[in-house]
Amino acid sequence: MLRIGISGVAGRMGKMVLAQVIEATDFKLACAVEAATHPSVGRDVSLLIGGSSVGVVVSSDVEQLVTHSDVVIDFTAPWVTCSLARACAHARKALVSGTTGLTDDDQRVLQTCANDSPIVYAPNMSVGVNLLLDLVAHAANQLGPEYDIEIVEAHHRMKKDAPSGTALKLAEVIAEATASQGTLQARGVYGREGIVGVRPSAEIGIHAVRGGDIVGEHTVYFCTDGERIEITHRASRRETFARGAVRAARWIHGKPAGLYSMRNVLGLS
Ligand code: NAD
């Protein structure tokens, strides 16, 4: 049995992961952690999702989480993910994290920690989005500079970071696939306002919609005179991401230290 620890267990994603870990016959829930101030700390995890007790009480002890788990699954906030990655690296334990909003410095922390332990980091754990990354890279490469590229993402009102990690990843793979037009840093435009003038053809527009309970939608537009292609992914349930995280946890167990993506997990690269 693979011993799984969950960081951020009372969050929207944490609860989804918890339900799937409890349901899986090859997993044992080893530990579940929340912020020290969270009201769930000290209470049975089963109270978060209903159902009968599995004998695990929510804790805020990261050391206990890392010690008792073979793989830790994390959906929290960037600073939490970075300190958890350090703890996992120190203990040589595997980490699967889907937390978004990581800065370049945070990404470097993961890269460094991955020298000592295996880490799967993916801003989107769904199979569909990871295939979408391939599709848009191919389209951008084939269509060429005559097609203007815009990315529009939509998420629920509670989402803290914008644009989404997935929108940024889409922009990154598009920029790589059309590298002759310049870097993402030079071409990325994050929303528009005022007299912005004629659109330069190399621009990659990235726009965020926030509202209601939208789980996650991403559309990439390829527009030219006389036609446009729209490639859309819509996530309708958070279980999609949790299933990806559980799949990543099974995959990463026993892997050598290194930083892996969901594409590695899915065998797409
Ligand atoms: P959420 O706010 O509902 O949950 C985050 C949880 O982390 C909260 O319960 C919070 O109390 C907890 N937390 C805060 N500090 C902590 C600490 N020190 N230790 C342990 N837990 C702590 O948010 P969410 O919707 O579940 O999303 C969490 C993250 O996952 C966000 O960055 C979101 O963008 C990302 N996300 C990623 C994917 C993906 O597929 N990669 C999918 C959905 C959401």
* Cβ-contact 29, 2 below 8 angstroms: no
Which atom number of ligand 1 is nearest to the Cα of residue 240? 40
CA–CA dist 216, 180 (Å, integer): 31
Query: Bridge partners of 27?
Result: 2
* Cβ-contact 159, 210 below 8 angstroms: yes
Q: Which of 6, 7, 12 for a ligand 1 pocket mutation test, highest count of atoms within 8 Å of Cβ?
A: 12
Tell me how many degrees the CA angle 96-100-106 measures, rounded to the nearest 5. Answer: 80
Share of the chain above pLDDT 70, in %: 100
pLDDT band at 269 (very low <50, low <70, confident <90, very high): low
CA of 13 to the centre of ligand 1 (A): 6
pLDDT, one tens digit per residue, over 159-187 is 999 999 999 999 999 999 999 999 999 99
Q: What residues flank ligand 1, with Cβ below 6 Å?
A: 7-8, 10-14, 33-35, 38, 75-77, 80, 98-101, 122-125, 241
Out of 15, 155, 169, 233, the active site residue is 155
The dihedral over CA atoms of 46, 81, 102, 95, expressed in degrees to the nearest 10, equals -90
CA of 162 to the centre of ligand 1 (A): 15
pLDDT, one tens digit per residue, over 24-39 is 999 999 999 999 999 9
User: Is 160 assigned a catalytic role?
Assistant: no
CA–CA dist 223, 229 (Å, integer): 6
